Every structure is written in C-alpha cells, then in structure tokens.
Amino acid sequence: MIDLQVNGLTVEGEFHCNFWEGPKHLEIKKMCKYLFNKGVKQILATLITNSYDNIAFAMSNINAYKKRFDNSLEEATADERAHIAGVHIEGGLISRLGIHSELYAKEFDFLKAGRLKHEYPGLIKLWTLCPLRDKDGDMTKFLQDNGVYVSYGHSEANFSQAMKAFEKYNVRLVTHWGNAMSIFKGLKQRSPSPEHLKYLEAVNPDIVVDPDQLGLGYAAYYNEKIYTMFICGSTVDKDLHIHPELLKILVRKKKDKLILVSDSVSKTVYEREDELRGGLVDLTKHANNLRDLGIPDIDIHHMVETNPLKLLNFQL
C-alpha cells in the first residue's frame, strides 16, 4: 500500500512522530517499521502550512533521514521499513484554512518553492494549493515543469472556478475530498441530510441556479478526469471525516479515480475532543473501514496502490 499523506503517527509506548516537528531519526524509523508491518510500503512525508524556514527545517530533517536510512525503496524494504518516497507539501498557498495557520496561508510563491527545489532536488513529489491563491498559475506551472504533481485543496474555489483551473493548468487531483472545501452549500459531510445525498447522486450542476452554491468538492466529484484523495475514518477512532452514506456515494461515482489516504497525525495534535485534525490511525485501518462498508477488495487495492502509482509514477 502507498499513503500519499502521512503527517506523522503516535503509537503509545512505542513512538511519537510528526514530520513538521523535526522528529529524531529513530522515531521516524520506528514509525516506518510500524507502517511496513501494517502493509504500508511507501509514504509521502506531509508538511502542512508553515513558514518557509520551518518547512525548510523539516525538509532538511527528512532529507538527512533518507540519506542515512532510506536511499531507495529496495533499501527500506530490505530493512522492513516503509519507504519515504518524497514530501507532500500541503498548503502555504491556501484560502480555506481548516487547522492550517492563517499567518502562513500566503507564505509561498514559485521563487520560494524554487529555493526548496534547488536545495532538495527530487524530494518534493506533491504540493497541495488553492487555485484562487495562484491566479496566474505561476506556482502551478513552476511545480509541474519541475516534476512536482499539483493537487487542489484547502480552497474556497467554487464549481466554475475549479473546473476552469482543472482544464487551464491540467491539474488532475484534489486533496482529502470534502475537507477544507465546499461540496455544495448546506451539505455537512459528517452528518448529511437524506435530501442532500439524493441531490449529490443526481450529479447535475445545471439544476442549481447559483453556481457559487457548488464548490471544489462538487467539481472534483463531477469531473471524470479528476482523481480524488479521501479519508475513511471512523467514530470509534474519533477521526470520522466523511459520513459512511456520503462515502458510498463517492465510491459509486469515482471508484476508478479514488486514492485512499490516512492523513495521519500524532495524537498530541488533537487539543480538543471536538476538533478534527487528520487521521489517528494507519492506512490499513482506513482500508478496513472501507471494507466494513462493503467496498470490494479489488476496488480498495486500486485506491491504495494502483491509482497512486499511476498518478505519481512511484517505483513498483
């Protein structure tokens, strides 16, 4: 399995790791061994919106770890560790915050991204940003021209804005569908009404008079070209992001274009019980949650391996 969004993870009594905190290499190694034993063979170390200096510091730590322990998939596999295939920078150019810091919501441009690319060539594999914050596409085009895959997320973009950006910049991915984006006005992703679920299944944007009622989430759902990362948490693990009935509708419409991610973080990030901040378990648990919803194993396999490999050209 491949997880494109691993911020970190905590297993009580064993390790605590968040990549943006510059964890000790031993903690990263323990987490990667744990994930490997759970069936996760490759990950993207994920860094959320922060200052340039803090992002650079975190990347320096990840880069040093890779040089010491993880030069290749083969090296990591031989030691039964998940391979860190690269870094996913999530944010730094966003319009819908979620838990991300407003202070750094406009932190990055293509010049700062270029400095990171120069300092750590090949390390950044994926970058999540908002098309509204990159109006002329300079950041998007720079990243694409330098081998970084661009995903849209943490965005206030409406349906028409998203659809235009998808086509203009050839972006084919969105980050954690339903989270930090609007699907359509009034829809609550964790507790949707039956009427809203029926509307979503109708898949007809023309019946909405005001296109601003439809958001980036609906555009990704509607557009058959777009791959969609998503989280399948649970109430038991206190990381439910999408209501099971809403998730079933998403799978029925997009199963060939879905990528399951854990978005896992250390438990210490959860400061209050009512705050939803990423996932709290590994990708295997998320896959099992899907299985409990009746999703066939072959479809889950595509979501955790085939599709991320196809999109990002990871090593097999």
Q: pLDDT by residue for the chain (316 residues), tens digit each?
A: 999 999 999 888 888 899 989 999 999 999 999 999 999 999 999 999 999 999 999 999 999 999 999 999 999 999 999 999 999 999 999 888 777 888 888 999 989 999 999 999 999 999 999 999 998 899 999 999 999 999 999 999 999 999 999 999 999 999 999 999 999 999 999 999 999 999 898 888 888 767 789 999 999 999 999 999 999 998 888 888 899 999 999 999 999 999 999 999 886 655 545 555 677 899 999 999 999 999 999 999 999 999 999 888 754 3
Tell me the C-alpha distance between 41 and 27, whole Å: 17
Tell me the C-alpha distance between 124 and 259, whole Å: 19
Q: Which amino acid is at 193?
A: S
Q: E-strand spans in 49-99?
A: 83-90
**Tokens read off for 262:** 């854990």
Instruction: Give the CA angle between residues 70, 71, 74 to the nearest 5°.
Output: 80
Tell me the C-alpha distance between 23 and 294, whole Å: 37
**Domains, in order of start, for the chain:** 2-312 (3.20.20.140)
Cα atoms found within 13 Å of the Cα of residue 191, Cβ hemisphere only: 1
**Tokens read off for 23:** 């964890």
Predicted local distance difference test score (pLDDT) of residue 135: 84
- Give the Å distances, CA to CA, from 314 to 16, 58, 123, 189: 27, 22, 13, 31
Would you say 154 and 175 are in contact if contact means Cβ atoms under 8 Å apart?
Answer: yes
Per the confidence metrics, is the pTM higher than 0.85? yes
Would you say 294 and 244 are in contact if contact means Cβ atoms under 8 Å apart?
Answer: no
**Tokens read off for 195:** 């009427």
